[in-house]
Amino acid sequence: MKVGILLEEIFDEREFIYPYFRVQEDGLEPLVIGPESRAYKSKSGWLARAEAAAGEVRAAELAGLIIPGGYAPDRLRRSKEVLELVRAIDEAGKPLAAICHAGWVLISAGVIKGRRLTGYHSIKDDLINAGAEYVDEPLVISGNLITSRGPADLPVWVRAFTAAIQKQ
């Protein structure tokens, strides 16, 4: 089963690398997706390559989607194709995992109103103003939406995501 991992400039390398390898340990195949199929630079300058452009990927091809944080989410949410993919994954009820600043993508995709979630504390007001119930917990699951606050929460976040994939 393929799981998408979104990528854009200024991504947090921990929030990309950790799930990239953890999903493989659980027998899943990561598909790295960006607004374009090209290399993107992390916050520290490390490069990772998106194998596919968001406009080329259909929700039906994926078992779930991971949105890493850093400052990449501010760029990801500017892509119409990325937002369409996020909405399609959510509408299909497939596991949708967001960590740290990735809540910005969820806001722009219009998928958080009335849902309980968490994220990095600096976007708390953004999440609340978009209609979410914000809680400061390491892991919050609201239906198919799986959210965490930041790098310290990576183990519980990815474990919850892969468990949700296995339940499908």
Q: Find, among 42, 39, 32, the residue nearest to 6 by Cα.
A: 32
φ and ψ at residue 98, rounded to 5 degrees? -135, 140
Q: Find, among 39, 38, 48, 37, the residue nearest to 13 by Cα.
A: 48
Q: Find, among 136, 19, 94, the residue nearest to 6 by Cα.
A: 19
Active site residue 101: yes
Burial per residue of 67-81, b for 16 or more beta-carbon CB atoms within 10 angstroms, e otherwise: bbbbbbbbbbbebeb
Q: Are 6 and 37 in contact (CB under 8 A)?
A: no
Q: What is the dihedral of CA 162, 157, 80, 12, to 10 degrees?
A: -120
Exactly one of 14, 22, 101, 115 is catalytic; name it.
101
Catalytic annotation, residues: 101
